[in-house]
A and B are shown apart, each in its own frame.
Chain A
Amino acid sequence: MSSAREEILGRVGRILGPGRTPAATAYTAIERPYLRRHHEDGVLDLFAERTADYRATVHRVDPADLPGAVARALTGSRYAVPGGLPAEWLAEVDPARLAHDPGIGELDGLDGVVTGCAVAIAETGTIVLDHGPGQGRRALTLVPDYHLIVVTADQVAPDVPEALERLDPARPLTFISGPSATSDIELNRVEGVHGPRTLEVILTVRSP
């Protein structure tokens, strides 16, 4: 008896037949008449607005005011922080309130987590983590009930196509659009199931 792999590939090959144009050549013939971006201007405003649409809290601050904004946002007693988070972001927070890269067992008892991100998408109000420096491994931003994300203006891509171009698929990625939610009760969005129920975003934009 042939293996499942050979049998499935064999069937597919027989059905599709020989003499097909090579895949790489045929791929280039796919038409892509859609837009690369839906908005040209006001991308940062759009990002703030679309993220807030998911009932996330969005603050827009000058980079100089970031430490104050972070300190004001953290009203609980103890927060997880990943390695590689710029120290100046936490300059106004008492270090005793911070747990650096805690283990999974410890995460459930913390009030929240503070991270940066890799890319954001204005059109859809999405923030993408690639779990590099300042973002932590995936569990870090999943178990706590509160997530504060700092997004810098240069990280905001206008739309989905450009955001994907900036990302490295070899890394694990998490796309976040608002707090955890469900549509499972009567097909209406309700915030807060397993992921963080509160999402707060600080967008840093240099004042003109």
Chain B
Amino acid sequence: MSEHATRDRGRASMPTYLGMPPFPEAAGKAVADTRLRGNLAHATGTIRDRRLSAVAELDDWDALREAGKQIKDHTLEHLDHYLLLLEEKITAAGGTVHWARDAAEANRIVADLVRATGHTEVVKVKSMATQEIGLNEALAEEGITAYETDLAELIVQLGDDRPSHILVPAIHRNRAEIRDIFRSRMPDAPADLSDSPAELAEAARRHLRAKFLSAKVAVSGVNFAVAETGTLVVLESEGNGRMCLTLPETLISVMGIEKVLPTWQDLEVFLQLLPRSSTAERMNPYTSTWTGVTPGDGPRDFHLVLLDNGRTDTLADQVGRQALRCIRCSACLNVCPVYARAGGHAYGSPYPGPIGAILSPQIRGIGSPVDASLPYASSLCGACFEACPVAIDIPEVLVHLRAEAVEEGPKHPLVGTAMAAAGWTLRSPRRLALAQRLASASRRLVGRRGQIRRLPGPLRAWTDSRDAPAPPPESFRAWWKRTNGGRS
């Protein structure tokens, strides 16, 4: 915890990737990597268009989005009530509920549960919460091996790499790179493996099949937990989720306390919002729901670990709280011009992109240079807010956190001359906002072909001569109106 932090904070920790420089520095390196930028531009470009049509197909999208927002806000306002109800229902259905204040406590609980089974291997289905707490590393220290079973997680794990996207952690890899990783790191990969996606998927299927059939313990995340029924919900595509949730004898699920929903009916909103926002599908291939244990079908032993790790601190912040509505769809990453150039690694956290820029500093506290710089990892163009299925006003939270970063952050959080020069402006959120809006609007900034020559303020150092697309003018006007011309 930072000595500059003034608020009373709970215990929270999340890996800051080792030696991670603050955002502008890391982003500068990524922007110079043309292959990475090409891979990202290709993948995010594809999904952006498809998401728009998946969303346009429903006439009532705005109504669904509003309902999603209200359900989440209501749940947060009564979080203690719903957590207790969830615990009661899961316990009644034969499951066991554990509570963890921070990452270390959650890791301890999971490691002890695995050890109690007498096994030293677990299969895992992709989960942001377990990445946030660094579970795989913690288990490794206890002599327990965790096998990631999502294709993208497998690519990351085999390549000794870091995730760079919340939905597709290997988004920074193209098919040829994936083939190379499989050929060199996957013992049973065919020598003549091509880079056709179908062949790559087939290789992963063969590689993991025996693991699934022999696995005794699985670890999963959770997309939603229904308090009134004690039902947990996992959405996925490949079937590895179903394998992990069904075949092993023991299932341990880790979920952030904000994932709870009041009723079964509430799922009718989120099962429409999430697939269309994340993979741009009407529905993802597989969704599994389970309530405690079912005799004769699936795991005999089920444990749920409820994780705080900075979430109650986030709840305490009236403006920042809305970040807890997030359903981890990744739409905000895919539409973000800064993410498309900088890539996910620059954010120095398992949560990259616009949501990472508001979530990581809140979960970890603004105590490190990387967290103090994250609220600046945005041009405030508003595309993330428009795409967000639960209407999180990410620009609003960013501006709010910038003020905190200046108040509470480390003495020299902002690296580079551009940032130092901006010091006076940064000390006042009002001046900062105004300066940035003026900068965005100026002719010097936006070139004739609608390309940004320089991102405002601290980001200038790495946008010089880069070709980020200009923020859409509608969003700018919306922002201007909402903030009373940058004055509020």
Contacts and interface: CB of A to CB of B under 8 A. Distances in A.
Interface in A110-159: 121, 123-126, 131, 137-139, 142-143
Given A172-B298, A175-B287, A138 B63 contact: no
Contacts of A53: 282
Contacts of B150: 184
Contacts of A123: 282
Contacts of B312: 8, 11-12, 15
Given A35-B59, A142-B239, A192-B198, A30 B71 contact: yes
B272 A160 contact: yes
A9 interface: yes
A203 B267 CA distance: 26
Contacts of B39: 186
6 contacts: A33-B66, A38-B60, A165-B265, A172-B291, A175-B283, A181-B237
Nearest to B57: A38
Interface in B20-79: 39, 42-44, 46-47, 58-60, 63-64, 66-67, 70-71, 74, 77-79
A76 interface: no
Interface string B148-190: 0111100100000000000110110011001000000000000
B239 A5 contact: no
Given A26-B78, A139-B246, A172-B291, A125 B279 contact: no
B285 interface: yes
Interface in B255-291: 257, 262-265, 267-269, 271-272, 275, 279, 281-291
Contact of B204 (A137, A176, A193): A193
Contacts of B291: 169-172
Interface string A165-202: 10001111111111111111111111111111000000
Contacts of B171: 187
B209 A174 contact: no
B245 to A, nearest CB: 8
B421 interface: no
A7 interface: yes
Across chains A and B, which 8 residue pairs bring their CB atoms closest together, nearest first? A195-B239, A194-B239, A193-B238, A175-B287, A184-B152, A177-B283, A137-B297, A34-B63
B84 A184 contact: no
B229 interface: yes
B463 interface: no
Contacts of B99: 3-5, 8
B100 to A, nearest CB: 6
Nearest to A11: B312
Scoring B71, B99, B204, B242 by chain A CB atoms within 10 A of each residue's CB, the highest score goes to: B242
B250 interface: no
Contacts, number: 250
Scoring B82, B231, B268 by chain A CB atoms within 10 A of each residue's CB, the highest score goes to: B268
Interface of B: 10, 39, 42-44, 46-47, 58-60, 63-64, 66-67, 70-71, 74, 77-84, 93, 99-101, 105, 149-152, 155, 167-168, 170-171, 174-175, 178, 197-198, 200-202, 204-205, 208-209, 212-213, 226, 229, 231, 237-240, 242-243, 245-247, 257, 262-265, 267-269, 271-272, 275, 279, 281-291, 294, 296-298, 306, 308, 312, 315-316
A196 to B, nearest CB: 8
Given A174-B286, A193-B151, A188 B82 contact: no
A192 B202 contact: yes
Contacts of B238: 180-182, 184, 193-195
B242 A142 contact: yes
A13 interface: yes
B71 A169 contact: no
A161 to B, nearest CB: 4
A183 B168 contact: yes
Given A108-B209, A175-B283, A179-B285, A164 B151 contact: no
Given A12-B312, A169-B231, A184-B152, A190 B286 contact: no
A186 B174 contact: yes
A182 B247 contact: no
A186 to B, nearest CB: 5
B289 A172 contact: yes
Contacts of A32: 63, 67, 269
Contacts of B74: 23, 26-27, 29-30
B268 A161 contact: yes
B151 A188 contact: no
A175 B197 CA distance: 25
B282 A50 contact: yes
Given A33-B63, A137-B296, A164-B268, A187 B242 contact: no
A169 B289 contact: yes
B80 A172 contact: no
Contacts of A192: 198, 201-202, 205
Contacts of B282: 50, 53, 123-125, 177
Contacts of A165: 265
Given A108-B209, A164-B264, A169-B231, A9 B83 contact: yes
B256 to A, nearest CB: 11
Contacts of A184: 150-152, 155, 168, 170, 237-238
Given A142-B246, A177-B283, A11 B10 contact: yes
B288 A172 contact: yes
Interface in A45-101: 50, 53-54
Contact of B297 (A9, A131, A182): A131
